Amino acid sequence: MHQPWFDNGAFPLFLAPMAGVTDPVFRSLCKEMGADVVVTEFVSAEGVLACWERNRRYTEFEEVHRPIGIQLFGADGRNMGEAAKIIVNELRPDFIDINCGCPVSRVVGKNGGSSLLKNLPLLASVARGVILAVGDLVPVTAKIRTGWDADSICTPETCRILTDEGISMITIHGRTRAQQYSGKADWDMIDFCARAASVPIIGNGDVNSAQMVEHIRNTSAVRGIMIGRAAMENPWIFSEAKHYLTHGEHLPRKSIRDKWDLIIRHARLSLESGRYGDELHTMKFMRARFVAYTKGFPGAKDLRSRLVHIKTMDELIDLAQSV
């Protein structure tokens, strides 16, 4: 199925799906800063079927977020398909992404996410269920890891199985589930799969600079790059990378004050959205985002100890003005 983000030889930059991070406010900020394609936080297929109205909050988006994919996890192909059908009929996203890579225990414990890499016939049935349900309406994609652990690397076989089932695009995070987010992403494996696959392969893992984006584009067969943790710390990475790819020069580095302005803006937008409740609950939610944004700030250790106790916008603004 047509994926317009690849039209005219484009090399798209994707915002990775991250639970508790890629909510509508953060997606808006990243789109503003140059992300080409964004993906929602994952949502459970079983949750969608049991209580759609409560779980649709994880899937809601604004038109400015397009193109956008909604990521779904689960281990029952039929239920995954039924959940995907509800989402597509209600919201009309640009694609459905199957989560075959999340390492979090609460997902793995339900046989979803990266646990599917231990049971490739089950992974195939999940992909088949979603494609049969909505594959004629939207592209169905998948995000995987290289395997469960170092003794069970299965990336080439996983890509072949997913492609045979009709998956339109595969994102590979170059780590095993056992690695979580430690060690280095295996870009040699990502490139190997990209050269062999008949569908576009998107690379993910350790991309934290414009130079790395350029290096991967010039030296590998991936058709795009997905950025996750680096965007949590520096959403400008999308515009920085695009400028570097186009002009071969760096944009001026953002100052600490620029970053504080973004922190305050992000917090204010989250509060105005009402998504997390009152001011106290919104600030509690935002604390992890504050810590990510301020990584590398002067006196970061002491600053983080203050940020994790922020309760109001006024406190945040006062802190920003005092450092």
pTM for this predicted structure: 0.96
> Do 17 and 135 belong to one domain?
yes
> Do 30 and 106 belong to one domain?
yes
Which CATH number belongs to the domain containing residue 37 in this structure?
Answer: 3.20.20.70
End position of a domain, from candidates 216, 247, 278: 247
In whole angstroms, what separates CA 241 from the centre of its chain?
Answer: 17
What pLDDT is stored for residue 171 in this prediction? 98
Cβ atoms 238, 20 nearer than 8 A: no
Cβ atoms 112, 75 nearer than 8 A: yes
What pLDDT is stored for residue 153 in this prediction? 96
Whether the CA torsion 64, 24, 98, 75 is positive or negative: it is: negative
What pLDDT is stored for residue 174 in this prediction? 97
Q: Is there a catalytic annotation at residue 193? A: no
> Do 33 and 173 belong to one domain?
yes
pLDDT, tens digit, 9 for 90 and up, residues 80-137: 999 999 999 999 999 999 999 989 888 888 888 999 999 999 999 999 999 999 999 9
End position of a domain, from candidates 247, 269, 291: 247
Please give the single-letter amino acid code of residue 112: G
> Do 202 and 276 belong to one domain?
no
What pLDDT is stored for residue 157 in this prediction? 97
Catalytic residue among 102, 154, 159, 193: 102
How many residues are present in the chain?
A: 323
What pLDDT is stored for residue 106 in this prediction? 82
Domain housing 89 = 4-247
- Mean pLDDT, range 143-172, rounded to an integer: 97
Please give the single-letter amino acid code of residue 200: P
Q: Find tokens 């030889």 and name the residue.
A: 9
> Do 207 and 158 belong to one domain?
yes
> Do 45 and 176 belong to one domain?
yes
What pLDDT is stored for residue 109 in this prediction? 82
Residue 169 sits at the vertex; the CA angle it makes with 126 and 22, to the nearest 5 degrees, is 85
End position of a domain, from candidates 200, 225, 247: 247
pLDDT, tens digit, 9 for 90 and up, residues 265-277: 999 999 999 999 9
> Do 69 and 169 belong to one domain?
yes
User: How many distinct structural domains can be found in the chain?
Assistant: 2
Q: Find tokens 């090399």 and name the residue.
A: 11
Please give the single-letter amino acid code of residue 213: V
Specify burial of residue 117 (Cβ count, 10 A radius: 0-12, 13-18, 19+): buried
Please give the single-letter amino acid code of residue 88: V
Cβ atoms 320, 264 nearer than 8 A: yes
> Do 241 and 261 belong to one domain?
no
> Do 142 and 210 belong to one domain?
yes
Pairwise CA distance, residues 106 & 115, whole Å: 11
How high is the mean pLDDT of the chain? 96
pLDDT, tens digit, 9 for 90 and up, residues 175-226: 999 999 999 999 999 999 999 999 999 999 999 999 999 999 999 999 999 9
- Which uninterrupted H or E stretch holds 144? strand 140-147
